[in-house]
A and B are shown apart, each in its own frame.
Chain A
Amino acid sequence: MKHNNAKKNLLDTKPKKIAALVVMVALVLYLPKSGLLSPYLVRILTMISLYSMLSLSLNLLTGFTGLVSIGHAGFCAVGGYTSALMWQYLGLPWLVTAICGMIMAGVVGLMLAAPTSRLSGSYLTIATLGFGEIVKMIALNWQSFTGGPLGVNHIERPEFFGITLTTFNGGFFYLSIILTALVTLFVYRIVNSKMGRAFMAIRDDSLAATMMGVDVTAYKMKSFVISAAIAGLGGAFYVHFVRFLDPNTFNFDISIIIISIVILGGTGSIPGSFLGAALLISFPEILRFASEYRFIIYGLILVLMMRFKPEGILGGHSHRPFRLMKGVESYGN
């Protein structure tokens, strides 16, 4: 089969892959220092990175395990509040509070998953919607602890080795890139492991998964906990980035943006989460000239997407023909 060799991908060899990676890393490190980007653009890039991380978290749950959550902001809120309140009451550094935020979000994820693990489809989705609202109501009404509607103010910026991270020194941008890279690696490793295959088996056919000896309930719960923990990390990053947190910081809109990114980019596609975040976070900024009308355009794009490519831009399997193995002729001729 000649054409296989002729069409060899440019990035097929390992040294070339490493070189491409080094160039990308150098470019990313150089960008905020180059002066080419205004702080405004650096901020948008940071937000894209953050939302990539959040949508990877939801993609693991929705795209790979087939459980649709529209209360994902609730997990961000748990992570964010844990981190902010630990700073406020205990004065702990960001790294510690962020890890605690992750763990707390994971624990809450388990608390949500345990009673809902037998729900499926839209019933589970409605339960997650309720969960997002419950988190918001607790944050609003537990005034003595969370600050209620006044929220938590002047949250300290993260500090590493005596350097305080800001948008201006590019610190937040670097931190978000590092976190997103770690999360991407983590999600990639899970998806390509035995656990990932169990998730996808549950998504494709939970009865058949049971017949293969997959404990469906246990794996659904694992997916929930991992996804919630990553979302909690995202929340813990965000509140120290904007330095303010109130019950409306992580509202229903945020959940909808995250699920929109997953759907637009492609369910079950890791690169799709990045593409979706880049598109959906930059759209409102690019369309700023259209002022109030931009959300009409935004909505229209989503409607058209659902009509013409419901599996997302990079989602699902394309109609590209499969390459057969060497020496195998296609069957039927």
Chain B
Amino acid sequence: MPKPILELKDINTYYGMIHAVKGINMEISKGEIVALIGSNGAGKSTTLNTIAGLLKPKKGQIIYDGKDLSHSSAAEIVKMGICLSPEGREVFPDLSVQDNLKLGAFTRKDRAMIQRDYDKVYSLFPRLYERKVQVAKTLSGGEQQMLAIGRALMSDPKVLLLDEPSLGLSPNLVMLIFDLIKDIKKLGVTILLVEQNAKMALKTADRAYVLETGRITLEGTGKQLLTDDNVRKAYLGNI
């Protein structure tokens, strides 16, 4: 196995007294899509927020590219190349599509490269190009999700963290978003995906982890987990 680009070693995160993530170990190799599935309150979003620097782990290390991130600020982590597209499509509602994307490139200075990435995002999401002067709150749910992902891509991330990209979208839009996630992988971006829609996530992901009440209970390739009896019973509706 190649050296992992992102490695979580015994991560423990608390909300005050509540122990939300209890000693997680994960390894993500360059260029793969890794899914993190589990029920409500299992600690999936907490894990992502800890990696992104929004929450500080009480114990453990997050090794990215050989460096420990667990004491860096969220802004520094974005600069190093890890970007989170937060849950619930948190686009800036009163700003235009274009300004939202400009904010995605906030930490970057090289104009030529930024311009190249605009073109990249607009070719990935032509719908956004058509609506680039529109304010984000007038976009449909699917378009807002595209904008949130596009905005995260504007920071030129090495690792993209996606928190529930399919949340609240209609089934055909869910298909579209997952197809786009595969396209983003082809651009060389490593993706860590948190999903409630376990079936789609496992179909898309190269590898996956199952999280239960703050602990990893299973790990394997997407295909292995799709056929695993326990996973099928708990998350796939036992079909």
Contact = CB atoms under 8 A, between A and B. Distances in A.
Contact of B92 (A201, A316, A317, A325): A201
Contact of B135 (A201, A210, A211, A317): A317
Given A194-B106, A322-B134, A211 B94 contact: no
A322 B133 contact: yes
Contacts of A121: none
Interface stretch (A37-45, A54-62, A212-220, A243-251): A212-220
Interface residues of B, number: 35
B79 A213 contact: yes
Contacts of B91: 205, 208
B106 A214 contact: yes
B200 interface: no
A197 interface: yes
B93 A211 contact: no
Contacts of B127: 331
Most buried by B among A204, A213, A328: A213
Contacts of B131: 324
B79 A200 contact: no
Contacts of A212: 78, 103-104, 106-107, 151, 155
Given A204-B94, A214-B106, A328 B130 contact: yes
B95 A204 contact: yes
A197 B103 contact: yes
B90 interface: yes
B120 to A, nearest CB: 17
B113 interface: no
Contact of A197 (B79, B99, B134): B99
Contact of A210 (B75, B99, B104, B155): B75
Most buried by A among B91, B92, B135, B138: B92
Interface string B121-165: 000000100111111001010000000000110010000000000
Interface of A: 194, 197-198, 200-201, 203-205, 207-215, 268, 316-317, 322-325, 328, 331
8 residue pairs, one from A and one from B, having the closest CB atoms: A213-B78, A213-B107, A208-B90, A204-B92, A328-B130, A213-B75, A212-B106, A210-B74
25 contacts: A197-B102, A197-B103, A200-B92, A200-B95, A203-B94, A204-B92, A204-B94, A204-B95, A205-B90, A205-B92, A207-B90, A208-B91, A208-B92, A211-B74, A211-B85, A211-B152, A212-B104, A212-B106, A316-B94, A317-B94, A322-B134, A322-B135, A324-B131, A325-B133, A331-B130
